[in-house]
Structure 1
Amino acid sequence: MQEKTENVIRMYEKVVYYDPANPWDWDILSSLYNDIGNMSKARDAALRIKKIAQNDSEHLMAASVLGRVQMDDDDLAGAAESYRQSLTITERLARANPKDVMLRRKLAHLEGSEQLINIMERSAKGEDVQEQLTVALGHFRQYLTLTERLIRGDPNNAKLQEDMSGIFMVIGSIQAMQANITGATESYRQSLTITERLAKENPDDLRLQHLLSTSLDIFGHIQMVQGDPVGALDSYSRSLATTELLVKGSSNDVMLQSRLSASFGYIGNAQMAQGDLTSAIERYHQSLTIAENLARSDPGNAELQYDVATSYQRLADAGVPGFTWERVRLHLQAMKNQGIFKPSYEDFLAEAAENAAREQGTPSVLDNQQP
């Protein structure tokens, strides 16, 4: 999959070389760079759109594309500013065209996305976000309503169907953060149903197959939260089968190999929850082998190094000799020393330090706190 994406990237690099003034081509190129994890080039391509934009539509595209890249690159402050710019333009366009459903739909999406960034920023500070979750849910429900309206007029539009699947996924995530597990499960189920149908109708569309695998994993996660490891194991196993088919067609694809490693880990978690320690440990080792191979091939890749730490943690929790929370801590600390440690990893490092202290019989920070 990644190899094919890189071939398309080379084609679009030639396209923008000969016609650098077309913002749509830069949009596609930015998205392709994003797909393979080259965030620096994805950002550069997005900034080129901003540089050549000549009207509201193109300025809106520039801000939206840049915001997407910033979100994926954990730049919440930058993403918030880009979404505010998008929102300002869209509000102006929507006021001038109040009957334009596409603009109203775009506005609902941006308003919801702005709230999600606000939620992430407040959560990072330990602040309450329930009010913001309710507001975000309202915007995404409006986004869903307008998307359903468009689908009624164009029921065979696969892009709109895929958008609707994504909206259900976001709504499910918000409901999960609200501790509405029943609602989240239903939203995830609706998202998965749409994705399964699209993937079945387009078996050669690798992106849709990849999306199906991701959707199955997410549905498996909510089943685990519900205390249904049997159902989760089924979802994870179906996800693994989908990923294995994709890997057969592109065995050197780093993203697919990473997904394969994750699938083995998820299956191990479900087996562990059912008390099948032997099978779980076997799956954890399979996950670790892939994760370590990928990390060795790209030692500066934060996500790949983080995956190794996650595998260490699972094996430590399973009580496998040679795997301790101190080993997890040392790996995360090495990442920090190397300069590839993301702010979102801080909680994991703190957890590793606490558990490592307990393993070694040293009083931890939490142990010393008064009840």
Structure 2
Amino acid sequence: MDHSRFSSVVSHQEVNGILLNRLCLPVFSFGLTLALALVFGAGQATLAANEGSGRTEILQTEDAGGSTPDPLRACEQAVELDPVDAWNWVQFGVLEQQVGRLEAAEVALNDALAVAEADGNERDLSVVMTARGHLQRAQGDLAAALESYRTSLAIIERLVAQDPGNAGLRRELSKSHKRIGSVLEAQGDLVAALESHRAGLTILERLAAQDPANAQWQRDLSLTHVAIGDVQRAQGDRSAARESYETALQVHPSDQEWRDYLVALQLRLADVRPGRRGTLAAVQSCEAIVAIFESLVALAPDNANWQSGLALGHLRLGQVQLAGRNVFTARESFRASVAILERLVAQHPDNPAWQSQLAHSYDELGKAQFGLQDVLAALESFQASFAITERLVALDPGNAQWQGHFAHGHSRNGDLQWSSDDRASARESYRAALEIRRQLVAQSPENERWQTDLSVSHDRIGDSLNAQGDLAGALENHRAAVEIRERLAAQDRDHAGRQRYLVVSYVKAANILKGQGSKQALETARDHYRKALAVAVRMQERGILTFRDAGLIEEVEHLLATLPDE
């Protein structure tokens, strides 16, 4: 079987400072490709970096004058000339997806599938199924995407068994595992996601050992370590995540290429190390990526994929600005992201990925507006985010990430309703969030983020019931929060947020018990206060007691002193 299409066959040209291949797709350097993947995250890495500069190209075109061609027209001509070549149809579908025409992309890929099945070429069929998986992810259908990726994986496994010495096939097999891992992570199945990423890692480690000088394989190896670290971070295993990220840094391309990657990786490492995320290096990295996509958009304003990349760049820039407490500049970055995405969603209402991105941008904009005391504007942004997420969840109730955002929206609504003294509505919102989060934790109990969110829901409901006078219900919820937070705090004693959450839950439960007044309740309250004090003292000893919590020890000691003598 001919696998020659795994080799690179594309020449490049530079337009307005951006290196392009003959289909007008950007070709990024090794280090910058990695930086894009890091900044945009696993779910957006393919979109942002076009799966890296090592991707096989299928079609070459050039007009008579040697100027930049129209890629869609080139694909149209290709399928007209050779309608029984599945690769032409795949490229046509990919480009239709890039400009946001998902229905047209689906038609093209269905034609590709029909051609590949009629021809019986398994390699072509695997390519088609991978492209269908990418499209189905963009459509928000994770279950269908997973099925397509698994079908492609099974084909590649058969091809590798037939030709075990083919390095290109083995690399493609590793990428298939990575794609599956990414979908499983989006569905919330972190254990299975980690297993898939590690299967891909095993293949890449063998390839890299055979040829340590192969930069393409080293790139894949580094990004797979990052993907594993992302899953480990979601599981709450910061130590393992840190180890994975640091292993990713052991790849050694040229210093110039590596600089971009080193800067972007700080966004990952900062999440698993003590300290603030809003570093100057992180801001500069995001600014550089925004500038790249601004150049691309100026080159082709109608390219919806590049518009989406620019919106993501503004979103990430705003997040690091907000983390660095630059609230004014963060608000402007979020506004830029929202403006781009509103146009994209209006032009392509059938693209749920962009709707999800818009909901996220609205939510971040609301945070910045609230931080600037612009409460009405913040409320409008939060409501816009919630409405979009509600529609997405109705579209695909099995999308765990959307469900998590929906629960966050309910909880946010509850906070706003509570601050407006609409406490009955607030309780309903908190309960709605609680039920969603219970289901998510039941599906993926190892997901640390969802465990934390569930504890927050119990905390909110406990507070609301306490204000209502339902002390038994309040205590039940605060104890549920304590149980979760004890477990999370024990997993990572250097995580200041987890330790502080635990102190708060101990104190809230103790305050209710103290109000009950019985001897047993008072003794349990004393035990909770002492536990809270022990955690706060340990935070101080470890150097993770922040400035805002400087009075925490004194406060807990005062509460303990208010109890009657033993």
- Give the whole-Å Cα distance in 1 for the aligned partners of 2:278 and 2:336: 25
- 2:315 is matched with which residue? 262
Question: For the Cα contact (< 8 Å) 1:268–1:283, is it kept in 2?
Answer: yes
- Give the whole-Å Cα distance in 2 for the aligned partners of 1:177 and 1:44: 36
- Give the whole-Å Cα distance in 2 for the aligned partners of 1:160 and 1:282: 42
- 1:61 is matched with which residue? 127
Question: For the Cα contact (< 8 Å) 1:247–1:256, is it kept in 2?
Answer: no
Deviation, structure 1 residue 115: 4.9
- Give the whole-Å Cα distance in 2 for the aligned partners of 1:149 and 1:342: 45
Supply the AA of the counterpart residue of 1:294. I
Tell me, yes or no, if structure 1 residue 281 matches structure 2 residue 327.
Answer: yes
- 2:112 is matched with which residue? 49
Question: For the Cα contact (< 8 Å) 2:366–2:382, is it kept in 1?
Answer: no
CA 1:199/1:242 → structure 2, altered by over 3 Å: closer, same or farther?
A: farther
Equivalent pairs: percent with the same residue? Answer: 17
Scaled by the length of structure 1, the TM-score of the pair is 0.75
Matches within 5 A, 1:23-38: 23-38=86-101
- 2:276 is matched with which residue? 229
Question: For the Cα contact (< 8 Å) 2:338–2:361, is it kept in 1?
Answer: yes
Map Cα deviations across residues 173-194 of structure 1 (whole Å, 9 max, x no partner).
2232333334434544565786
- 2:466 is matched with which residue? none
Supply the AA of the counterpart residue of 1:265. G
CA 1:37/1:193 → structure 2, altered by over 3 Å: closer, same or farther?
A: farther
Supply the AA of the counterpart residue of 2:91. I
Map Cα deviations across residues 145-186 of structure 1 (whole Å, 9 max, x no partner).
13314543xx35x54444334323322222323333344345
Q: Secondary structure at the match of 2:92?
A: helix
Map Cα deviations across residues 34-54 of structure 1 (whole Å, 9 max, x no partner).
444443333333322211112
Deviation, structure 1 residue 291: 2.8
Supply the AA of the counterpart residue of 2:71. V
Supply the AA of the counterpart residue of 1:268. Q
- Give the whole-Å Cα distance in 2 for the aligned partners of 1:175 and 1:339: 27
Deviation, structure 1 residue 349: 2.4
Tell me, yes or no, if structure 1 residue 21 matches structure 2 residue 74.
Answer: no
Scaled by the length of structure 2, the TM-score of the pair is 0.52
Point out the more displaced range, 51-60 or 341-350: 341-350
- 1:240 is matched with which residue? 287
Matches within 5 A, 1:1-371: 4-5=24-25, 7-53=70-116, 54=119, 55-111=121-177, 113-121=179-187, 123=188, 129=189, 131-149=191-209, 151-152=211-212, 155-156=213-214, 159-188=216-245, 191=248, 197=254, 200=257, 217=264, 219-229=266-276, 232-248=279-295, 250-251=297-298, 252=301, 254-272=307-325, 280-298=326-344, 299=346, 300=349, 302-303=355-356, 305-323=358-376, 326-335=379-388, 344=402, 345-361=405-421, 362=423, 363-364=426-427, 365=430, 366=457, 367-368=460-461, 370=473, 371=477
CA 1:184/1:30 → structure 2, altered by over 3 Å: closer, same or farther?
A: farther
Supply the AA of the counterpart residue of 1:302. Q
Structure 1 runs not aligned, ≥5 long? 124-128, 202-208, 273-279
CA RMSD of aligned residues (A): 3.8
Structure 2 runs not aligned, ≥5 long? 1-17, 26-68, 397-401, 431-456, 463-472, 478-566
- Give the whole-Å Cα distance in 1 for the aligned partners of 2:151 and 2:296: 41
Supply the AA of the counterpart residue of 1:179. G
- Give the whole-Å Cα distance in 2 for the aligned partners of 1:199 and 1:259: 25
Deviation, structure 1 residue 66: 1.2
Question: For the Cα contact (< 8 Å) 1:229–1:270, is it kept in 2?
Answer: yes
Q: Which has the higher contact order (CA 8 A, sep 6+)?
A: 2
Question: For the Cα contact (< 8 Å) 1:325–1:352, is it kept in 2?
Answer: no
